[in-house]
Amino acid sequence: MAASLPRRLLLLSLVLSLAVAAAAKISGPRTPISRDIYHSSDSLLREIEVLVARHSDKLSMDTVRASNRGYSAELSVVTFNPVKESVDNGSKVHILLSFGQHGRELITSEVALRLLYILTEKRKIAGVDLSSFEKVLENLVIKVVPMENLNGRKRVEEGELCDRRNGREVDLNRNWSVDWGKKEKDYDPYEENPGIAPFSEPEAQIMRELSKSFKPHIWVNVHSGMEALFMPYDHKNTTPNGASAHLMRSVLENLNHRHFQDSCLVGSGGGSVGYLAHGTTTDYMYDIAKVPMPFTFEIYGDEKASPDDCFKMFNPVDKTTFDRVINKWCMAFLILFEEGLRNLRDAQIVSQGALDNWVPIGGDIVERNVERKSVRERRKLEGLDLGMQELRTYFRLFMLSTFLLMFMFCTRISKNRNRDSGNVFDP
């Protein structure tokens, strides 16, 4: 009996070793950051600073800081405004783009960097000439937050490759006020910590103030994990009602058809992604900030990656895929700018500017304003004609009622006269 105890301990030790080995085999190796492809957070922001200094006529950069309960955050905000005006005449479309809200999604900040290069220097994407797009850019003011969650990104660079939270372990995309704090049955406190209160985190406070001061017409929160084009809502399985929902869906479906050949998932985040998310930025932008077109773009995901292999799941790991994803989504943003500008003006959410003709990316010259003017004039004429018809109808009714009243009045007078005459000659 005593001799069998060491044997049992040895057997138990062997079983545990095999279990650990099996678990390691199931989870698979964790892919490290491809540092030969990806910038570090510091080098990416430095490169943007140099780009801004080189194109100070088009770009400017602000650094915004905030703190709360001993925790501080710093955000860089880059503004692209190619045609500066002393007075905003209301014709320019304001676009606010946020990248890197989750620290582990490095690819999103790389798209931000490349997009800024395209807006200022590199006028081609994969051989496509973008010079004809200048006319569209003149009608836009674009603010880019290249790395919203700098503190969280630092944690990832230090080895926490699966961490999406900020430096205080709060999910910034659960820290906004719309339906804040609600927890689903599959709630993961590690992944979805909403913080102690709405806007408890400095990063969310900065973004909220930026949305208030800039008043964007288009908002895009850029993430990775899959490929999708989402509109509100995230916290319920539905989209908004009315004209605004139609406008958002129209823009996304046109983008999906023109650029992605209808391959992207389009719809509400809550209805499409498979789970509900509460306290998200995009829902706040729609419900509270009243942004006409708030979107969430998911730009990449490796479905075959192990759940523990987060860098590979959320980011391309080879240079070919890296370049393809960046080029594809930079082009998607340019088409979004074009579609958004056209739809916002058609809906008269922004005033008409000097955009009579331009060449859509990959298309021929379209005289959009001429078409819109002719449609508007035709509608005005139709409305005027309908109004005249109604006036003629009312006039006929008025004349008929006047005739009937006069007839009744004359009949009454005639009867009274006859009655009066009868009274005179009666005995």
- What is the model's pLDDT at position 15? 44
Q: Which CATH number characterizes residue 209's domain?
A: 3.40.630.10
| Residue 61 belongs to some domain of the structure | yes
Task: Retrieve residue 27's tokens.
Answer: 């989870």
| Residue 323 belongs to some domain of the structure | yes
pTM of the predicted structure, to 2 decimals: 0.78
Which structural domain, as residue segments, surrounds residue 331? 41-352
Q: Look up 298 and say whether it is catalytic.
A: yes
The residue written with tokens 């405004």 in the block is: 81
Q: Is residue 382 predicted with pLDDT exceeding 50?
A: no
Tens digits of residue pLDDT in 80-125 = 999 876 556 678 999 999 999 999 999 999 999 999 999 999 767 8
Residue from 202, 208, 96, 197 nearest 146 by CA:
96
Tens digits of residue pLDDT in 273-329 = 888 999 999 999 999 999 999 999 999 999 999 999 999 999 999 999 999 999 999
Q: Is residue 386 predicted with pLDDT exceeding 50?
A: no
- What is the model's pLDDT at position 378? 42
Per the model's pLDDT, the better-predicted residue between 349 and 23 turns out to be 349
H or E, element range at 250 = helix 243-260
CA-to-CA separations, 323 to 36, 293, 316, in angstroms, rounded: 13, 28, 9
Number of domains in the chain: 1
| Residue 188 belongs to some domain of the structure | yes
Helices marked H in 36-146 — which ranges?
Answer: 41-54, 106-120, 134-137
Catalytic residue among 203, 298, 338, 339: 298
| Residue 52 belongs to some domain of the structure | yes
| Residue 9 belongs to some domain of the structure | no
Mean model confidence pLDDT for the chain: 84
Per the model's pLDDT, the better-predicted residue between 421 and 240 turns out to be 240
| Residue 424 belongs to some domain of the structure | no
Q: Is residue 398 predicted with pLDDT exceeding 70?
A: no
Tens digits of residue pLDDT in 39-90 = 999 999 999 999 999 999 999 999 999 999 999 999 999 999 998 765 566 7
Q: Is residue 392 predicted with pLDDT exceeding 70?
A: no
Task: Retrieve residue 159's tokens.
Answer: 């080895």
The residue written with tokens 């943003």 in the block is: 333
Per the model's pLDDT, the better-predicted residue between 144 and 372 turns out to be 144
Tens digits of residue pLDDT in 179-224 = 999 999 888 888 999 999 999 999 999 999 999 999 999 999 999 9
- What is the model's pLDDT at position 348? 87
| Residue 418 belongs to some domain of the structure | no
Per the model's pLDDT, the better-predicted residue between 256 and 25 turns out to be 256
Which residues have C-beta within 8 Å of that of residue 72, sequence separation ≥ 6? Answer: 65, 66, 202
| Residue 185 belongs to some domain of the structure | yes
- What is the model's pLDDT at position 106? 98
